[in-house]
Amino acid sequence: MTTEALRDQPLMAHLLIDGLNRYHDEPCLFLGDKVASYRDVRERASQMVQALQSKGLGVGSRVAVISANRPEVLANIAAMQLTGCVGTPLHPLGSLDDHAYVLEAAEVETLIFDASVFEELAGALKARVPGLKNLLGFGPNAIGDDYLAIADEFTPKPLVAPDIKPDQVSSVNFTGGTTGKPKGVMSTYSVTAAMTQIQLAEWEFPEEVRMLMATPLSHAAAAFFIPVLQKGGAFYVMQGFSPDEFFDMVEQHKITCTMLVPVMLYFLLDSPRSATADMSSMETIFYGASPMSPTRLAEGITKWGQIFYQFFGQSECPMVIANMRRKDHDLSKPHRLSSCGRPTPWVHMSLRDPDGNEVAPGEAGEICVRGPLVMKGYKDMPEQTAEAFAGGWLHTGDVGKLDEDGFLYIVDRTKDMIVTGGFNVFPREVEDVLATHEAVGQVVVIGVPDEQWGEAVKAVVVLKPGFEGNDELVASMQALVKEAKGSVQSPKTIDFVAGIPLTPVGKPDKKAVRAQYWAESERGVS
């Protein structure tokens, strides 16, 4: 052992072992009519570790996972960490082309899949991706091995951490690809350990953690796995999101916390059940992944109280760049509902202009970050990595402002900015105004080609139930923005749609929305 090892921090594998060993017969996972104790998850993880090792997997093996929410997903997350695999999640709603691109870009050799749902997709990927050597199904299947049957052959053993170092890559997660092809973000073991430490230090978990998971376990659960284990909590998992099932589970299990993306909260708020469901047990609703409408957030606070906790981050610097505590969701300070909270003290943050200089107090600048949360780089993309790290900072691509109390406000994405007639328009600011209109359920604002102005401001709106799109409604929305922000920022056109496409992580997919309007244009900007 070197003297360096004297100072090695506990990593995710060590924290998993500690958490799973703390408890035995206490419940860890509820899914449908199945309940798994800490002992069950621990022993199943051990069997899965041995199954993976029997297939030749070890430290550095590149593995992708695609599955519906089922109990084995959680044990497999632990097993991959304890084997030392480099993990890449595939979103259950992604396309064959997207998945094939990710597998090849991440150099994945092993695909773990839910045999009951994704056998056909796994077969298609095997045909498309020559580098795939192992296909391991949760259950019997015709195109690969039965992962669960292999695991059954082994006797559970005490969990042991792999021989890994803090700076080794632990995962390759692909960005939403708002511009160009998705980039593979290489996170190290030290990044996830730092993220977890900040979560445990700052996040307001209830004393009794009964956490409802409404998002895919293969994506979201890993980020909450350690904190819930360390607090002796349990996961209650939805197999598919619907407002009625959500409210049913909260009432039935006295759920104390959950994690939702804003679009899920909009669906909950627009459900008739939001007025009648018993939410009294709910102590914390963690939300993030995309900006939330301040108007809709105020609706939630009015209905359910100050139980909201916001986190802000990105794949390149995950989840905890800034946090807004429950008490800061204060209806007496409505402007603050546009904030994403105060920057965490555990990383360095600076707002910088395009030349890399720090902006003056109160001015908008790109959010730049240094510290233990920053990725190792983009896989096989040295130019994009160098651009992201220009000047010795991680450039997030988000434009923000700090107020006099130190709260951070995301103005917009640098690449989402609309230039119309030489004026800069930040879509987020227009979206926040439109969201105050009584008829607006969801909204995205984009720039579309315009011969006169280069780009014109367009709003794409999902109406609340009971409203019907017409010229009068368009005029009232345009007038609302004109009064609040001026005529330049008022949408020239407004389209009413049934739904807004989402990225795999639940953000409004502005790239997909823009594509509909730029299809005939030679360029993506004007």
Mean pLDDT calculated for residue range 236-257? 95
Cα–Cα dist 235/36, whole Å: 10
Domain segments of the chain: what residues?
A: 9-27+34-182, 241-414, 417-518
**Does the fold of domain 417-518 match that of domain 9-27+34-182?**
no
May I ask the CATH architecture of the domain 9-27+34-182? 3-Layer(aba) Sandwich (3.40)
Question: What confidence tier does 524 reach under pLDDT thresholds 50, 70, 90?
Answer: very low
pLDDT tops 50 at residue 357: yes
CA 502: distance to chain centroid? Answer: 12
pLDDT tops 80 at residue 412: no
Fold of domain 241-414: Rossmann fold (3.40.50)
Tell me which of 10-14, 216-220, 269-273, 383-387 is least confident.
Answer: 216-220
pLDDT score, position 504: 67
How far CA 501 is from CA of 239, 287, 498, in Å, comes to 21, 19, 10
Question: What confidence tier does 180 reach under pLDDT thresholds 50, 70, 90?
Answer: low
Mean pLDDT calculated for residue range 331-357? 95
Helix (H, G, I), strand (E, B) or coil at 385: helix
CATH of the domain spanning 417-518: 3.30.300.30
The conformation of residue 339, written as its DSSP 8-state character, comes to: B
pLDDT tops 90 at residue 91: no
pLDDT score, position 81: 96
Helix (H, G, I), strand (E, B) or coil at 463: strand
Q: Which of 272-286, 417-431, 493-507 has the highest mean pLDDT?
A: 272-286
Cα–Cα dist 356/354, whole Å: 5
pLDDT tops 70 at residue 422: no
pLDDT tops 50 at residue 431: yes
